[in-house]
Amino acid sequence: MTLKDLADIMFPDVTLTVDEIEKRYPERDLEEGAEVTRFAPSPTGFVHMGSLLSAFQDFKLAKDTKGIFYLRIEDTDTLRTVENGISGIISDLANFDIYPDEGMISETESIGNYGPYIQSERKKIYHAYAKYLVEKGLAYPCFCSKESLDETRKIQELNKERIGYYGSYARCRTLSVDEAYEKIKNGEEFVVRFKSMGDFNNKITLNDRMRGKIEFPENDMDIVIIKSNDKLPTYHFAHAIDDHLMHTTTVMRGEEWIPSYPIHHDLFKTLGFKEPLYAHLGLVLKIDENGTRRKLSKRKDPEASVSFYHEKGIPPEATKLYLMTIANSNFEEWFLSNPTGKLTDFKMDFSKMSESGSLFDVEKLFNISKNYISRMTSQELYDKSLPWMEEYDKELFELMKKYSDYTKAIFNIERGGEKPRKDYASFSDIRGGIWYMYDELFKDVNYEYQKVTDIDEIKKILNLYFNEYYDINDDKDTWFSKMKEMTEKLGYASNMKDYKKNPENYKGNVADISTVIRVSITSRSQTPDLYEILKLLGIDRIKTRINMIK
Ligand code: GLU
């Protein structure tokens, strides 16, 4: 029996050759320096914050370099697969405007020429490479039972030796081709193991793009490359084959993969593949109530789930700005000096990533979002918040649609200019800031009167003001002078300095008067510019509102 016979009986269905496959995945035609990156989740139905950060960084690197970012679904661990688990991932990414250039675009469809982009559909490809390795004597079938492997592990633990399938512990490595062939012919179950030529006493170095040089002993483990039950590849083998064929240039993945690097190095070398560059990303952390750093937890922290941002109505661009601040330590400073700068103007830098993990701070995110929303035009805010309202606040959605110009005019109050008003950290804050501008919502309100609460005094102020002073056509200066004039007439101070010197001489001051007007018209003691609000409401609606006060 030859190795070829053994390979044939191990993979009777494989007809594809490695050469044929290689031809189907030619070099990509990209500009010099263009990076090919991928997001490679299991189809678990959702993306959590840590993976979103890594998907964002993959996406960003590809965009920064005019490269390709693709979505590959890694479903070789069937335990992690859920029904419709791909769509959930795609829609989570889409909520942040992260659209892959290639890869899965729905549960079953994909775009791009380097597919299939779902590992279970690439079985034939993995088998062809595994068969090729067997033919070359670089892989072999292993028949060791779980019990015998457990036994080996116990001995290794007892002897304080390295755990694994290597050296004299790699029992099936020394089976003759005839013996192995016979066992398969007799229907014995087997896995396929890689035959490592490595020596544990040699050193290899990973030049991680973010962590720099990391030294390891060479791999000498005969790791499983094809599993026995479903004949699917292990992560290690699929990683090597896929990232080679799809021409990934930089693999960004969690730091938990660092110890596996020697295996990957061994596989790439043996298969004759060019190794991609690696960046092993740190964890996403948060500071706990008691000041300690801990991993962001899906169970404890609502912000760990990416649906949180969509449900709250944080604009995707704001979340991405935030992700950039935790990805690169120099981004925040850049953004402060370029407050209107776009993410596309900033290039991601591996040397500015934190090895020890990215600290997640929701308050900071809200701040960024507040700034971001404050810089939108009223039209932009209207266009971007409307779909969110349709999903989460139908009532306000209908009003915003019915009174679209009016709504944009409301949004426009104190917007634009150097120091725009920062009211909204998310679209879910909008209702609280504008509801009183719609008569449909201005019912059974709770008036937040402050200093002046006597209803007769309030009525007196309102009647005098709206009957004798207020003129909708006044410009802002005239409007304010008139307000002061009336203030004095009523025995309140129009000048704050005078008031502060001798408060006992006055009933109150001009701020108390404007608060009475503000609260009477809106019910709120804090609103954007009163002059603009009065203008937008118009005198008829103002009068109706005054009549509502009992
Ligand atoms: N499917 C792997 C995981 O979820 C991907 C790791 C990688 O990006 O290579 O951990």
Determine the distance separating the centroid of ligand 1 and the alpha carbon of 262, expressed in angstroms.
16
* Residue tagged 């590959």 (tokens): 72
Say whether pLDDT at 81 is over 80: no
Strands 284-287 and 293-295: what pairing?
antiparallel
pLDDT digits 0-9 by tens, 254-277 = 999 999 999 999 999 999 999 999
Residue 305: pLDDT band by 50, 70, 90 thresholds?
A: confident
- pLDDT at site 374: 96
422 to each of 205, 243, 387, 396, 526, how far by Cα in Å?
A: 50, 45, 21, 20, 13
One-letter identity of residue 361:
D
- pLDDT at site 32: 97
Joined tokens for residue 58: 């993959």
- Is the CB–ligand 1 distance for residue 245 below 6 Å? no
Per the model's pLDDT, the better-predicted residue between 49 and 104 turns out to be 104
- Which of ligand 1's atoms lies nearest the C-alpha of 39? 8
Which residues on neighbouring strands pair with residue 372, listed in sequence order? none
- Which of ligand 1's atoms lies nearest the C-alpha of 239? 9
Count CA atoms closer than 13 A to 21's CA, side-chain side.
22
Highest-scoring range by mean pLDDT, 41-45, 295-299, 356-360, 527-531: 527-531
CA 131/CA 59 separation, integer angstroms: 34
For atom 9 of ligand 1, which residue has the closest CA? 253
pLDDT digits 0-9 by tens, 82-121 = 888 999 999 999 989 999 999 999 999 999 999 999 999 9
- pLDDT at site 153: 97
Q: Three-state SS for 502?
A: coil
Residue 43: left if φ>0, alpha if ψ -120 to 50, beta else—which one?
beta
Determine the distance separating the centroid of ligand 1 and the alpha carbon of 53, expressed in angstroms.
13
| H-run or E-run covering 215 | strand 212-217
DSSP 318-347: HHHHHHHHHH-TTHHHHHHH-TT--GGGS-
* Residue tagged 């935790």 (tokens): 326
- pLDDT at site 84: 84
- Is the CB–ligand 1 distance for residue 253 below 6 Å? yes
Q: Three-state SS for 112?
A: coil
Least confident of 42-46, 173-177, 443-447: 42-46
From-to residues of CATH 3.90.800.10 in the chain: 3-15+123-232
Q: What mean pLDDT comes out for the span 334-339? A: 88
Residue 526: pLDDT band by 50, 70, 90 thresholds?
A: very high
pLDDT digits 0-9 by tens, 198-214 = 999 999 999 999 999 99
- pLDDT at site 385: 97
Longest dimension (CA), the chain: 113
CA pseudo-torsion sign 80, 84, 90, 94: negative
- Which of ligand 1's atoms lies nearest the C-alpha of 74? 1
For atom 8 of ligand 1, which residue has the closest CA? 253
Per the model's pLDDT, the better-predicted residue between 404 and 418 turns out to be 404
pTM: 0.86
From-to residues of CATH 1.10.10.350 in the chain: 455-547
CA 452/CA 497 separation, integer angstroms: 20
- pLDDT at site 531: 97
- Is the CB–ligand 1 distance for residue 54 below 6 Å? no
pLDDT digits 0-9 by tens, 366-395 = 999 999 999 999 999 999 999 999 999 999
Say whether pLDDT at 300 is over 90: no
Determine the distance separating the centroid of ligand 1 and the alpha carbon of 516, expressed in angstroms.
61
Determine the distance separating the centroid of ligand 1 and the alpha carbon of 40, expressed in angstroms.
5
- 235, 263, 278: which to mutate for ligand 1, most atoms within 8 A of CB? 235
- Is the CB–ligand 1 distance for residue 244 below 6 Å? no
Cβ neighbourhood burial of 372 (10 Å; 0-12, 13-18, 19+) = buried
- 58, 244, 249, 253: which to mutate for ligand 1, most atoms within 8 A of CB? 253
pLDDT above 90 coverage of the chain, percent:
86
Say whether pLDDT at 80 is over 80: no
CA 18/CA 446 separation, integer angstroms: 75
Count CA atoms closer than 13 A to 502's CA, side-chain side.
7
Per the model's pLDDT, the better-predicted residue between 380 and 289 turns out to be 380
Residues 6+ apart with CB under 8 A from 96: 52, 56, 306, 309, 316, 319, 320
pLDDT digits 0-9 by tens, 212-246 = 999 999 999 999 999 998 899 999 999 999 999 99
- Which of ligand 1's atoms lies nearest the C-alpha of 77? 1
- Which of ligand 1's atoms lies nearest the C-alpha of 256? 10
- Is the CB–ligand 1 distance for residue 74 below 6 Å? yes
For atom 4 of ligand 1, which residue has the closest CA? 41
CB atoms near residue 73 (< 10 Å): 25
Cβ neighbourhood burial of 422 (10 Å; 0-12, 13-18, 19+) = middle
DSSP state of 146: H
For residue 44, which phi and psi values (nearest 5 degrees)? Answer: -90, 0
Joined tokens for residue 280: 């092993």
Least confident of 337-346, 393-402, 473-482: 337-346
- Cβ atoms of 294 and 285 within 8 Å: the answer is yes
Tell which CATH architecture fits domain 3-15+123-232. Answer: Alpha-Beta Complex (3.90)
- Cβ atoms of 77 and 43 within 8 Å: the answer is no
From the candidate CATH numbers 3.40.50.150, 1.20.1730.10, 1.10.10.350, 3.30.70.1450, the one assigned to the domain spanning 455-547: 1.10.10.350
Output the average pLDDT for the chain: 95
For atom 3 of ligand 1, which residue has the closest CA? 41
Cβ neighbourhood burial of 229 (10 Å; 0-12, 13-18, 19+) = exposed
Nearest to 210 by CA among 52, 329, 345: 329
Q: Which residues of 125-143 are buried (b: 16+ CB within 10 A; e: fewer)?
A: bbbbbbbbbbbeebbbbbb
